[in-house]
Chains A and B, each alone.
Chain A
Amino acid sequence: MSAATVPSTIAPVVLAPPPSGFVRRFCRNRTAMVSLCLLVLITLVAVFAPLLAPHDPARSSLRAIMKPPGMRYLLGSDDLGRDVLSRLIFASRLSLLASVQAVSIALAIGLPLGLISGYVGGWVDTIIMRLNDALMSFPALILAVVIVGLMGPSLSNAMTAIGLVYAPRIMRVVRGSTLSVRQEVYITAARATGCGDARIILRHVLPNVTGPLVVQATVLMGQALLAEAGLSFLGLGVQPPEASWGAILGTAFPYMAQSPVPTIAAGLVISVTVLCFNLIGDGIRDSVGRMRRSGD
């Protein structure tokens, strides 16, 4: 084709390098950035746990039962004479992995169902939404307790249960975004181009629902961590001698009157991590929201 016949009025204008608006706005959000740094720190602690822990988290010493914090045991020792700090450091691995597992399962179930429900609509949507409502009408933790009760207590089972319980929340968010994206002109344009349904869902709908999805997934990470702590506190999650933060809290709690530090430390770690996830979720939501609008 020759361009000679075409009025080529567009000079190769040098535009600014692709303005990654989302990253810039997120970085400007101080709360979210601090949370992100803290979370990265916690993740690094989990990764390098064997290097950082001052003691073997599983080794108990009869001479060091419920010691108060001191030079040897920075956060004291528990009822079996194990170093609480080392146990918290090692527990961060299980706690974070457990959250990731739960959210992954929730995504694996909720994302495809949400896309199909929102895109196809009609009776498919009605059936999926009724099941969804039924599942959501149960309190999350109670349902998880029932599922763990049926499958037997283990961390993996507990997190599968949590993932299953959280799947409807992912589904609702994805369905809602899909419903609005489906109305966009570029979806009609994709059909005019000749795209099939599968291609439209994967290439045109999915990338445009990721914003709200990432926010929801981040917030759920925090909630899953909390749920894991709850289940492990009740003895339905991680089994001894392994420990997650919730399990540490659970074993330290009965001795709170004698030695409050382990309970407080475990509770604090859980609270801070959950808060980080939530604040990062808020930060992403604020940054993404504006990008969508300024994109036009």
Chain B
Amino acid sequence: MDTFFAILQVASLVLLLVLIHRPLGDYMAMIYTGKRDLRVERGFYRVIGVDSQSEQTWRAYLRSVLAFSLVGVLILYAIQRLQAVLPESLGMPAIPEGLSFNTAISFVTNTNWQSYSPDVTMGYSVQLAGLAVQNFVSAAVGIAVAIALVRGFARRREGTIGNFWVDLTRGILRLLLPFAILTAIVLIAGGVIQNFNGFTDVTTLTGGTQSIPGGPVASQEAIKMLGTNGGGFFNANSSHPFENPTAWTNLVEIVLMLAIPFSLPRTFGRMVGDTRQGFAILAVMSTIFVVSLTALTLFESSGAGSAAQAAGSAMEGKEDRFGIFGSTLFATTSTLTSTGAVNSMHDSFTALGGMMPMLNMMLGEVAPGGVGSGLYGMLILAVIAVFIAGLLVGRTPEYLGKKLGPREIKLASLYILVTPTIVLLGTAASFAIPGIRDDVTTTSIWNPGVHGLSEVLYAFTSAANNNGSAFAGITANTPWLNTALGVAMLLGRFLPIVLVLALAGSLAAQDKIPATAGTLPTHRPQFIGLLVGVTVIITALTYFPVITLGPLAEGLQ
């Protein structure tokens, strides 16, 4: 019976995504290819001093991305440091330097790693004027970069790849804001709170007291999901009944996380003039998603491990209204996108179950990945897959009519090296440097044994891939982890963006070569299989050793 309901739930998710995917994908293609500005946009461009009709080279585009993100970090840092004097702060003090640094980077990089417990750290002013704003703009930056890469494939012999300020503005005003408004209202109807009431003290039925929190939660929850951000208004994130009150809001939140990432391949197909190419990318993403979801669900419902066996099933860290399947579906969605929201505590998953969110992130978050970042990550892997296929048959690799020469392959190869390097170096440094190891093992790690290693590995995997979920027992609000994870998030976001935009520039400058009989078709099942294989094998080769030290060791002992 449970399997039956699980399949029904997946079926309705698939149905909703199928219904959304075409219109939303086409709408996004329209947004990013349209020539006309809305009146409100024209006013905005005048205020910020941008000529919306001018285009940028990849270098200029990149400079704008970096300038905008740096300013975002500085403003968010300042807002946190000034919390004590801002209105609606619930009397909470200024946030310390190290934590402000980590949090500012975390939200600007679309990671939303939280080294802090928001319930007792962040007042309303920081939440809405600082964090929620970055939830919008960091998401729009990710989509903009993906669109710039798609233009690289679509254009021929052009020196420019679009205008960052226009892409950013349109992404926010035409896409994220209207959908956030709609879905925030839906979430309120489901019970998500939206007020400025502060804490309401009530006398409980047995005469005790309970301090019920308030806050503008629905407005933040909507964009947290839609922009694959994931930073919770409350410590318990989307398991908190005020963020995710019912099983149906749970499904709504899952749809929100997947809506844009699963529709972007359609946008890509439209923009390169061949929707079959977008469909192939979508098929790769969906295949990985289904396999990963099945694995996590099997592990969690197997009830393996000492705690699950003692209790009768793996319900530690799960909510009754979601049950096991509502939790595994959410966890898979959250870690295969770059959201990182949780509706169950991954730290308490069965050992092999806890490995799955980690693996999902290690895949590079490409199935379907974060808004924008998922598409550009998958397109990089497609470039690698075409290259490997080219090696096998001894032909110059080409993708969508673009020749993949040494420069393109170097950029793609560097891309897939960036995050594993950060993850493995960060984890290794945490245990190899004596002073740091003492701090990590005595202060940061919550669970003893190999599970403690998994907590640190999870943290660096999550930070470098800009996910933001955690094996949340870890105490990350320490000088080492605040700094190291902050740097990991920064490099994990912007090094890939540099490489992607450089690739976009070099592709846009090329002419398109016509397909011949010898060209590898990149829309057929053969290529879909190849791309799934490349994605999985690269991850497996990179991470297998460290996985055996953590979750595999715990799960197989």
**A and B associate:** no
Where the two chains meet, the residues of A that have a C-beta atom closer than 8 Å to any C-beta of B are none
Interface residues of B (CB under 8 A from A): none
